[in-house]
Amino acid sequence: MDVFPESVHVQDAGLEMVDDSVVWGYARANGFVIVSKDSDFHERSVYSGAPPKVVWIKRGNCATDAIEELLRGHVGDVKKLLSDDDGRFLILF
């Protein structure tokens, strides 16, 4: 995505078939925010805190284009999360 060019998909990082804790550790070690439709990452952020921060896409089945559109529509909110030292997560509907 051009608005977050440093983004890496789990598949491209070789993390497609690993446990969530491995993804969490990778994101923490590399300064990434986790963007996921999986509520497990949101729950982990509530209990474990940040880093990493989490953007939870709280939608049912939808196309990748719909997720991209949602993220583009909330770029300001994501950037606000990134700059908020106390922020742990952002929920997008």
Domain ranges of the chain: 20-92
Residue 10, pLDDT score = 96
Cis peptide before 5 (omega within 30 of 0): no
% of the chain residues with pLDDT over 70: 99
Global pTM?
A: 0.93
Q: Which pLDDT does position 42 carry in this prediction?
A: 96
Q: What is the pLDDT of residue 1?
A: 64
Residues of the chain with pLDDT under 50: none
Q: What is the pLDDT of residue 87?
A: 96
Tokens of 91: 């929920």
Rounded CA gap, 76 and 58, in Å?
18
